[in-house]
Amino acid sequence: MNSQEMFAHNMGSRIFGPFLRSYVLWLHRSAKRDGIERLVFFARDGYLMQQMYKRVIPLDEQLPSVYMYSSRRLFNVAAIEELNPRVLKFLTSDRVEMPVRLYLERIGIDADFSDEQLVEFGFEEGLDTIVRAEMIPQLKRFFLSIEDEILTHVRAERRKLLEYADGVADWWGEKCAVVDVGWHGTLQESLTKVLGMPAGSLQGYYLGLVRSARKDRDQPMSAFLDESRVSDYLLYRFAVNRCVDLYELLFSEMAGSIIALDKDGKGGFLPVREPFNGALEQYAVIEQIQQEILAQGSMHNLVAAVRRLVSWLPLVRLLSFPTLNEARRLGDIFQRSGFGRYGEVGYLAMPMHNLRYYLRHPFAYTKELRSVYWQRGFALRALLDRREHY
């Protein structure tokens, strides 16, 4: 094995493989207990979960399962019924600065508004005006002014999504549950609205749920690790909050986010994906780790069930106290924030400079630390890495 293969093997066999194996055993027991008849794994984060489920649970005991095209862009936009404050926050909140034109394009609105219309809202350069953080209130007011046009488009998207969803499962005839990595349960809520089902009628199973998830949503949710439980609070802080993006990257299908659906000409649907950005070699380590994780699912001589707490401890160690090699190899992986094709692309934990530079420019260090996805990995690299990264 070369160094990258050895790293991927250790990540898969010692940390994420046993953990995901333990999770799907919990998932299966929970679904059986709750009388679930079909598991619906959401794309893209549910990809590895479903693959592991099929390997760990004996075939004659498995619940029927399906992999469903989904994304925040696909579900949450289709579920919009009015431009209330929560919806406006979703449509405008992001970690990226981009022109008004792209804010419109990513929700499917043709950007054919005149400069005069936009100047009224303070966008002096029309559709090409870059929306800074302080301009978000103006953007919200503009969206409210075109609410009818937005809702007309949303209704068309909802009809298409509903047609697709009706072919995925018999939502009304059998007891279905959705499966996702976490962390707020918004996709479960949006799908329930699109299907027109009563609130609370669709079960959700997650790796983890943030504390506020249950307060914001009236729906049944179970989590392998739930921050709202007193017994899980500290573990969630150390095992999940250190870097939620790492779970999403390692468990996801290696393909672009789904931004729309198209008919395939045979009565089915195909996903329309955002471009798979960046150098593919950046994702080679993820694919190798995924292969090693799945290999653990086929090793039936392992202990049948790793206790839940024990399965989380290696992740606490990795995310809170990584080695320099781990911080480098995982920190060099990039992640895209935002939704619908547009968003800021950043590395999990890659310092732009070395320690000597940060000692001379402490504010640069603070600014970079706040912007990265994995702060512990960044801090270790900033301290020990000698190379400049740009």
Mean pLDDT by 10 residues, the chain (390 residues): 88 92 95 97 95 94 96 92 92 81 87 81 89 90 93 94 95 96 93 91 95 85 94 93 92 87 86 68 82 79 61 94 94 76 75 90 92 93 72
Helix axis angle for 136-145 and 85-92, nearest 10°, is 120
Q: What is the pLDDT of residues 174-200, one digit of tens each?
A: 999 999 998 999 999 999 999 999 888
pLDDT for 222 equals 95
302 occurs within a structural domain: no
- CA angle, corner 296, sides to 290 and 302, nearest 5? 165
The answer on 106 and 27 residing in a single domain is: no
CB within 8 Å of 143: residues ≥ 6 apart: 83, 88, 91, 92, 150
Question: Burial level of 10, CB count in 10 A (0-12/13-18/19+)?
Answer: middle
The answer on 200 and 264 residing in a single domain is: yes
250 occurs within a structural domain: yes
Domain boundary among 228, 247, 281: 281
The answer on 160 and 206 residing in a single domain is: yes
The answer on 231 and 131 residing in a single domain is: no
Q: What is the pTM of this model?
A: 0.91
pLDDT for 118 equals 85
Q: What is the pLDDT of residues 263-281, one digit of tens each?
A: 887 878 999 888 655 545 5
pLDDT for 273 equals 86
The answer on 119 and 224 residing in a single domain is: no
The answer on 316 and 265 residing in a single domain is: no
| Structural domain total, the chain | 3
The answer on 232 and 329 residing in a single domain is: no
Domain boundary among 91, 113, 137: 137
254 occurs within a structural domain: yes
The answer on 174 and 104 residing in a single domain is: no
The answer on 355 and 336 residing in a single domain is: yes
342 occurs within a structural domain: yes
The torsion angle over the Cα atoms of residues 14, 255, 59 and 298, rounded to 10 degrees, is -30
The answer on 316 and 171 residing in a single domain is: no
380 occurs within a structural domain: yes
Residue numbers of the domain that contains 112:
82-137
The answer on 118 and 39 residing in a single domain is: no
24 occurs within a structural domain: yes
Q: Measure the CA–CA gap between 190 and 177, rounded to whole angstroms.
A: 14
The answer on 162 and 19 residing in a single domain is: yes
316 occurs within a structural domain: yes
pLDDT for 351 equals 92
294 occurs within a structural domain: no
| CA neighbours closer than 13 Å in the CB half-sphere of residue 119 | 5
Q: Measure the CA–CA gap between 20 and 317, rounded to whole angstroms.
A: 16
pLDDT for 386 equals 65
Contact call for residues 75 and 258 (beta carbons, < 8 A): no
